[in-house]
Each structure stands twice: as C-alpha cells, then as structure tokens.
Amino acid sequence: MTQLTISNLSSQYDDKAVITGLSLTLEQDDIVALLGPSGCGKTTLLRAIAGLQPITAGEIKLGEVVMTTPSQSLASEKRNIGMIFQDYALFPHLNVTDNVAFGLQKLTKSQRFDVVEEMLRLVKLQGYGDRFPHELSGGQQQRVAIARALAYKPQLMLLDEPFSNIDSQSRGEIMQEMRQILKSQGVPAVFVTHSKDEAFAFADKIAIFSEGKIEQIDQGSVLYAKPSSPYVANFMGKTNYLTIDSVSDKGLETVLGTIPMGADQLIETHNVVMLRPEQLVIDEQSSCKFSVVQSVFAGSHWIYKVKAIAHPGVIVEVHSHAMLESEQVIGLTVLPHKPVTFNINK
C-alpha cells in the first residue's frame, strides 16, 4: 500500500530553485534515506512533506489525501506525521511521561496513561517516566523522542539527522532499535542524513540527491555495485576509474589487463571502467606491476595508493590486510565481477 506520493515537486527559497521536478514514492513501512551534500535539497524536501515549506509545482499525497499543492497546504498539525529532530526537541521542564503525552490532550487521563506506558515499553524506558531530559543519556533522549512521535499513531515519520548527537559507540545500537520499532509499528519513514554508513544501516532504500533532484534511488547494495553515474559512484564510496584502451571479444582492455564484460553491456560511448578498491587484489603472479606510493592504516585493513610501473600516471587505491613497504612492487589482479562503465570527459 502506497503511503507517500510526491509528484513532480518543485520548491524554492528567495526565488532560487532548491528542488526541481522531484518524484518519490514510499510503500507501507518503507524507510528511505535522503543522502547528499549540504544544500542539495534534502531538508527542504523534508520540510515540504511536513507542511513547513511551500512548493511551486507538483503535489504531495499521504495515502489518498492531498496534503500540498502550489495553491493549498494542509496545516502541519493535521497531517498525521511524526517528526524526530537532530536535537530531539524535548521539553526540558517536562518529565518523560509528560513529554510523551504532550500530543495526546484529546484523550482521557486514563487513555493517556495507557498510551504512555505502551510507548515506554516499546522504547525500553519503563520506569523512566518521572525523569527529566537532562537526567537521560543522548540515546535515552532519542528513545523518548520516538515514543512521543509514535504515541499518536502517525501515518509517516520524518527524521532529520536523528543520530548525529549520539556518541559513536551507542549510535549503531540506537539505529537498529529505532529501525525495529518503526518496522514493528508499520510506520514508513523519510530519513535525512549526511552519512552513507547511517543510510546503509538504517534505510531500506537510499535516494542520492544532487542539486534538488534524486540522481538514483535503490537499495544501498545496488547503488554501491551498480551506480547510474560517477556522481553516485563517488558518493557511495571510494572509486577507481581506469581508461578503457580497447574492447575485444574477451572484454575491456586496461592497464590492469583484460576485464571480462557481460554480453548485454553496451559501452560504445564509454571510456572508463569503475573499480572499487576491494575489487583489486594483490597477486604476485600478475604481470600488472604497481609500486606503493602511500599507505594508511584503517584498523581492519590497510589503504594503499599504488602507481602503475608501466604507466606512472595511473594511480589506484587498493585495500589489503597485508603490510607493505613504501615503493614495494606488487602485482594486481581484478576480481571477477560485472564491470560498470561510464563516459567521463577528461
């Protein structure tokens, strides 16, 4: 069942277009991350969905209800949308119980009590009702925020950088707990982040933003392995680009030898092949020789920049568990995979 439908949306600030012709659909309990650099339109889209940002074209629907067009906009408080912010936005003078119950004034006292108890159980904060925000950790405050947002049974959740103020040790656990809570309640969510790692861990799909448009939307694994453009490829992780010297029956001819190519791949206009660092392996039997020019220890592995002996202008990044010396000569081999190619004007 489709919960959120955004069609050909455009919006602007001070006569400057921020979002242009954007479309997005969320199904029941989908979690979609909006990922991109600052100023690309992510937060503007979130504000437009919430009813806090006017639009100049298009339409926003929640279920079958039209919430926003250029000529009319349903008030934010009538949209049945929950919001969780970067700073949690808890009321410091209210205890946990009163924060969670804040949007439930239409219920009786007994009903409010039941809902609050249910929400505190859901977020594992039973017994914390009398505490105030300053008495809680960042993770506990975030749990209170989600309890308050879910208390009135929203049709959609909006999350604006919700994990940025949580310490790195707790962040992964909080993300998984919040994800499980949203899934258990069947509430779809739109999630703004600058971190691809957060997007990978929390979202079902990731929408890569570029200058007010969605460049590509798909599962994180698809975006990483099959990006539609160099922009998406670079945003999803470190990328090497090798010039395609020629194309033969065996595949793509490069300084790393022949890279087999699928029969269904059309690359007549493409001049480079994309290789992730982990698609390159050290192989002393390989005739493709490189020398180590830079090394960085990354904890679980080493990151090396290596230069082709026969083509000194070609430098690639490779990851390895082996410790290599500066200027050490190694052989490289490309692991079998279906290559991704692009046309890049150099």
The tokens describing 273, both together, are 């092949």
Residue with tokens 């300084």: 255
- Co-location of 197 and 250 in the same domain: no
Among 173, 205, 235, the domain boundary falls at 235
pLDDT at 134 over 90: yes
Distance between CA 16 and CA 143 in Å, rounded?
Answer: 37
The strand pairing partners of 282, in sequence order, are 332
- Give the SS3 label for residue 278: helix
- 47 and 158 housed in the same domain: yes
Residues 116 and 175 in one domain: yes
Average pLDDT over residues 121-145: 92
Q: Answer yes or no: do 230 and 206 share one domain.
A: yes
pLDDT tens-digit readout, 280-323: 999 999 999 999 999 999 999 999 999 999 998 999 999 999 99
Domain identity same for 179 and 255: no
What integer pLDDT is reported at residue 265 of this predicted model?
A: 59
Helix (H, G, I), strand (E, B) or coil at 303: strand
pLDDT surpasses 70 at 22: yes
Q: Are residues 261 and 310 in the same domain?
A: yes
State the Cα–Cα distance between residues 241 and 260, nearest whole angstrom.
16
Q: At what angle do helices 109-122 and 138-150 cross, to 10 degrees?
A: 130
Same domain, 55 and 114: yes
Q: What is the pTM of this model?
A: 0.89
CATH code, domain carrying 199: 3.40.50.300
Distance CA 205, CA 214 (A): 12
157 strand-pairing partners: 82, 189
- Asked if 296 and 277 touch (Cβ cutoff 8 Å), the reply is no
Average pLDDT of every residue of the chain: 91
Task: Give tens-digit pLDDT for 193-228.
Answer: 989 999 999 999 999 999 899 999 999 999 999 999
Instruction: Quote the pLDDT of residue 148.
Output: 92
Say what the pLDDT of residue 38 is. Answer: 86
- CATH number, domain of 254, equals 2.40.50.140
159 plus 79 within the same structural domain: yes
Q: Which domain holds residue 314?
A: 240-342
Quote the DSSP letter at residue 76.
G
Write down how long the chain is: 346
* Domains held by the chain: number: 2
Regarding whether 305 and 164 lie in a shared domain, the answer is no
Last residue of a domain, one of 235, 262, 296: 235
281 and 166 in a common domain: no
pLDDT per position as a tens digit, 85-112: 877 788 999 999 999 999 888 889 999 9
